[in-house]
């Protein structure tokens, strides 16, 4: 996504509340409960959740976040009823098309995590490293944390600074387990479809007040 004049203008309007996280990841949870509270089918919650994605993506860009990773569908979400997990061919084509159309974009990065699971990501990374070790290309004793990071789906992204989960649940649900090692965690009661640009601004302000020590003093 390339920055526009409007986003530059709103960037200037953001009050100085401390450092802005370079990479924010959001577990977008609570669509089903939002719908249930309105006596609507769960899919209505997912639809409303799409609007929240638009609001939050715009707000993140305006606030100067370099990378926004949104957890949209976990590798465990296949356990849901079929009508909620249909990756129909036309949907897959839309995703491919969106990636192709934005591949050459400069500016902030939007990552949508689909069929993502952190443990599967680590298993795949481990297998690639093990294969290279078995082929004699690398020495197992010389494998470093950087080598592992280079094999993760997030290899090209800035370090993860902030993980936000909506809907009041306080768990990671197999999201970015390695990457969250020193990320700040923020659990917000708001259900995802009610999430606004202001909710994100509040979260980023709270991040700005955190003291990160990385094990030091």
* Position 77 contacts ligand IPE (CB under 6 A): yes
Q: In terms of DSSP H, where are the helices of 38-195?
A: 42-63, 89-102, 118-134, 145-150
Q: Counting every residue, how long is the chain?
A: 217
Q: Which stretch binds Mg ion (CB under 5 A): 29-37, 38-46, 116-124, 175-183?
A: 29-37
* Position 189 contacts ligand IPE (CB under 6 A): no
The answer to whether the CB of 41 falls within 8 A of the CB of 83 is: no
Phi and psi at residue 111, in whole multiples of 5°? -115, 125
* Position 47 contacts ligand IPE (CB under 6 A): no
* Position 30 contacts ligand IPE (CB under 6 A): yes
Among 21, 25, 29, 68, binds ligand IPE (CB under 6 A): 29
Least Å distance between CB 71 and ligand IPE? 4
Which letter, b or e, does each residue of 162-194 get, where b requires 16 or more Cβ atoms within 10 Å of its Cβ?
Answer: bbbbbbeeeebebbbebbbeebbebebebbbbb
* Position 10 contacts ligand IPE (CB under 6 A): no
* CA atoms in the 13 A half-sphere facing the CB of 212: 16
CB-nearer residue toward ligand IPE: 173 or 196 = 173
Catalytic, 153? Answer no
Catalytic, 29? Answer yes
Of 31, 77, 96, 202, catalytic = 77
- Following DSSP, what letter does each residue of 153-178 receive, concatenated? TTTTSPPP-EEEE-TT----TTSSTT
* Position 118 contacts ligand IPE (CB under 6 A): no
The residues that touch ligand IPE, with contacts defined as CB under 6 A, are 27-33, 71-74, 77, 167, 169, 171, 173, 192
Which residues belong to the active site?
29, 77
């Amino acid at each position: 996504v390339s920055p526009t004049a409007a986003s530059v203008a709103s960037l200037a309007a953001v009050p100085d509340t401390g450092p802005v996280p370079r990479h924010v990841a959001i577990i977008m949870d609570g669509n089903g409960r939002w719908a249930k509270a309105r006596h609507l089918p769960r899919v209505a919650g997912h639809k409303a959740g799409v609007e929240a994605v638009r609001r939050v993506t715009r707000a993140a860009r305006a606030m100067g976040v370099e990378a926004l990773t949104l957890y949209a569908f976990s590798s465990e979400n296949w356990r849901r009823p079929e009508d909620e997990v249909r990756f129909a061919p036309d949907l897959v084509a839309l995703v491919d098309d969106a990636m192709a159309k934005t591949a050459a974009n400069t500016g902030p990065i939007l990552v949508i995590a689909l069929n993502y699971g952190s443990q599967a990501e680590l298993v795949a990374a481990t297998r690639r490293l093990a294969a290279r070790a078995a082929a004699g290309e690398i020495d197992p004793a010389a494998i470093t944390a950087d080598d592992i990071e280079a094999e993760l789906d997030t290899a090209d992204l800035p370090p993860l600074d902030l993980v936000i989960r909506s809907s009041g649940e306080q768990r990671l649900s197999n999201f970015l387990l390695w990457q969250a090692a020193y990320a700040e965690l923020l659990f917000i009661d708001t259900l995802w479809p009610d999430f606004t640009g202001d909710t994100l601004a509040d979260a980023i302000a709270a991040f700005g007040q955190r003291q990160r020590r990385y094990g030091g003093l």
